[in-house]
Amino acid sequence: MFKYILLIVVLFSSCHAKNEFSNGTVVFSEFPKSENVTFNEVIKFEYGDISRMFLRDTSLIVYNWRAKGGCFFYEYGLNSKRNVGKAIPAGSGKGKALGSLSAGVDNNEVWMYDISLNKIIFSALTNPSLPAATASYREYPFSPDYYNIQFLDSSRVIANGNYKTPNKIQEIDLHSGKILADYGVLDSVPKDIPFYAYKRVKEAFLVLKPTKDKVVLAHRLSDQIEIFDLKSHKSITVKGPENFKVEFKFFKSVDQEDVIGRDEGSRYAFIQAAATNKFIYVLYSGYNMSSQFVNCAKTIYVYDWDGKPVKKINLDRDVSSITVGNDDQTLYAFDMMSKFIVHTKI
């Protein structure tokens, strides 16, 4: 049976799922539903591992952060199962990139946030038979201070991971770099740990709702998500079903810098997230950081945008990346062992 505890001022229950979105915390111990799925192998990926996947109407765009094969992005036709496009070659020059945690698809372009080169680059996809450098591109200088970014529109981004501020999320003007708004403040910081060091304990993946009025942070080191309403500035934190605490150790480096390190109990929680207008999908690992499977997961947790836990999806194998169709019925993932892009219905 679905069990949860209400804290602070959240009005939230299984009988009143549409109550007002409010600041607070929900702790639950069990998803109301659990499903098992079996994948089918669809496309063999020949360029190493896939970090992110983006499903379009007739194609699948994948992002490989190591740029094996010479490019960061590859596009595959869903019908032909063949490579039909590529974009952004590796390098330090114009129209090139060195790597990124944040990458995405915006209309007919792909983009990367390269913190090594302090820039955001947009590029069209080009025919795989042509050099990727022939594709049209545009670049914008951007601060390297952030962990993840997403685009609200052509001139504004939403970002997290800035260690210079205790605020969790910033809305930023793309062209000037000016911070337009802040969301959430880091709390419960131990007195003996500077906030900028403790912020590493709270690292999270940032995913924007397609309607761009809400954003979710899926924590890397604890099984909790935070949902922010960008219009009302209200938020809700959802912890569970294990609600395990972050295991870490704090120490000074030989250079007297503040360092957060893992210990024997450190675990990974969420390793990636995806979203539709209805639901949030987070890929849950749970493995100890010393495990050989630390970058993989075989469970997906599903929540709605009001923070209500919806279901748990049990996968038949460990995967490292996921994407979900807008109809909430199609799931693609990447199997790191077989190097196949796999597919199932959910």
> Per DSSP, what are the bridge partners of residue 156?
173
Order of all β-strands in the sheet with 137-141: 102-106, 109-114, 119-124, 137-141
Rounded (10°) CA dihedral 234, 171, 50, 57: 80
| Token reading at 29 | 């111990």
| Residue 308: C-alpha distances to residues 163, 283, 303 (Å) | 30, 17, 5
pLDDT for position 3: 41
- pTM higher than 0.75, yes or no? yes
Least Cα distance to 121 among 162, 204, 48, 63 occurs for: 63
- Can you give the CATH number for the domain in which 136 is found? 2.120.10.30
DSSP symbol at 134: G
Distance between CA atoms of residues 44 and 22, nearest Å: 45
Query: Number of structural domains, the chain?
Result: 1
Q: Which amino acid is at 326?
A: N
Contacts of 248 (CB under 8 A, 6+ apart): 201, 221, 260, 261, 262, 263, 266
User: Mean pLDDT per 10-residue run, the chain (346 residues)?
Assistant: 39 37 84 98 96 95 94 97 96 95 92 97 94 90 96 97 95 97 92 85 94 97 96 97 84 70 80 97 89 86 98 97 97 97 98
The answer to whether 138 touches 77, Cβ cutoff 8 Å, is: no
Its domain, for residue 154, covers 4-345
What pLDDT shows up at residue 54?
A: 98
Contact criterion met (CB below 8 Å) for 112 and 102 = yes
